[in-house]
A and B are shown apart, each in its own frame.
Chain A
């Protein structure tokens, strides 16, 4: 689900590049305010991890390819803005180092499959864990719901960029969203496994310490 060069119109490319740059600038500002130096390796690892997970791709008949996204997981683990930056780095390196995703579509990719799942996913997760009881099950259930929902939302926004803001016909929209509502289940499973493991072994690394399920925050909590 990386938009290449040419699949968004020049006007869309200009607008999405400007908005993407604005988001990155804001995320840099927010992250510098709050960044503890010792979190840098974790951000790098998250980016490497998402990068590796995105290597496994499934071509889609309608044009683009599907793979795991990792944005929601990055947002929940690192917080919305650092999570968004980790995703930005992934798309930057994929575009420049691997020709995967266009350089003029980088803004569109960073918005749709970077910040939308990381920031949107983070706040959706905050909302869900606020209304649900503070148990491990509802915590991980929220991770799953948020992962699925952000995958579908991201694919919808990509479809908007390449059809309304690009040359492809509107049929791209149902194809993208349809396929990603299935890919979303894989996304949900993987995010849940990873966050369950972090919850068991290193709950101190999760961005929002106030939302941890009760047992995990206790010392010597249950190991996944």
Chain B
């Protein structure tokens, strides 16, 4: 049972263009995290409020031009948790309302983050967090992690090819037996490749953050302020008036 939900062409979708894609990453980060916080704070029974929040998210999906099938596929990650919520009516008192609320909160959290990551390319997302004053050591580790994920996946396909060229065929049990050494080799090889890359970077003047180009220079524009203030007013009224 290999879940491959982490892949799936997110970067291609995020590189698209729409009014939501064009918003400043900071506006989207603050707005969508705020929305999730409001949703999580709602009590079971606040169905109008949940519906309003889902309507906002659906509107964003439409405005961003995300394909429904793509969004649904990325949301399959929540299925195990929906199953857990579905068990609540049979196990606890007032479980039906509680289970529905849990299911809605999980769905809202997942959908909000799917929208954020599908409308913001990863480097811009990271830059947004840097500008929001996230601790530098954290953003540096994130940046390196992102690079290494690509190094790792390249290294895996090279090693797979090498194994197959030597007569290896992937059956489940055989695979299990050679997984440990494969992972260990992968670790050492990526590490040494990574160290070389890092030395190359520092010798070219890298000092802890990537230079910004005009392409990723960011400025809060009127539309970002409009988006954020609309969001703030909507969320505040949902939280105050609807439950």
Contacts and interface: CB of A to CB of B under 8 A. Distances in A.
Interface of A: 4-7, 10, 13, 24, 28, 31-32, 35, 37-38, 40-45, 47-49, 51-53, 55-65, 85-86, 88-90, 92-100, 102-104, 167-169, 171-172, 189-190, 192-194, 196-198, 201-202, 205, 224
Interface in B179-206: 179-181, 183-185, 187-188, 190-191, 194-195, 197-198, 202
Contact of B187 (A60, A172, A197): A197
A99 B114 contact: yes
Contacts of A198: 187-188
Contact of A7 (B74, B102, B114): B102
Contacts of A192: 180
Nearest to A171: B91
Given A5-B109, A85-B141, A99 B185 contact: no
A47 B147 CA distance: 11
B102 A6 contact: yes
Interface residues of B, number: 78
Contacts of A65: 3, 80
Nearest to A63: B84
B41 A10 contact: yes
Contact of B36 (A45, A49, A102): A102
B26 interface: no
Interface of B: 1-6, 10, 29, 33, 36-37, 39-41, 74-75, 77-81, 83-85, 87-88, 91-92, 98-99, 101-106, 108-114, 116-117, 122, 125, 135, 137-138, 140-149, 151-153, 179-181, 183-185, 187-188, 190-191, 194-195, 197-198, 202
Given A40-B198, A96-B116, A4 B148 contact: no
- Max chain A Cβ within 10 angstroms of own Cβ: one of B104, B135, B180: B180
Nearest to A88: B138
A64 B33 CA distance: 22
Please provide the 5 A-B residue pairs with the shortest distance between their CB atoms, ordered closest to farther. Answer: A44-B144, A6-B105, A63-B84, A5-B109, A197-B184
A186 B181 CA distance: 13
Given A43-B141, A189-B180, A55 B4 contact: yes
Given A6-B105, A57-B3, A100-B5, A63 B81 contact: yes
Contacts of B138: 24, 28, 85, 88-89, 92
A198 B190 CA distance: 12
A91 to B, nearest CB: 11
B117 A96 contact: yes
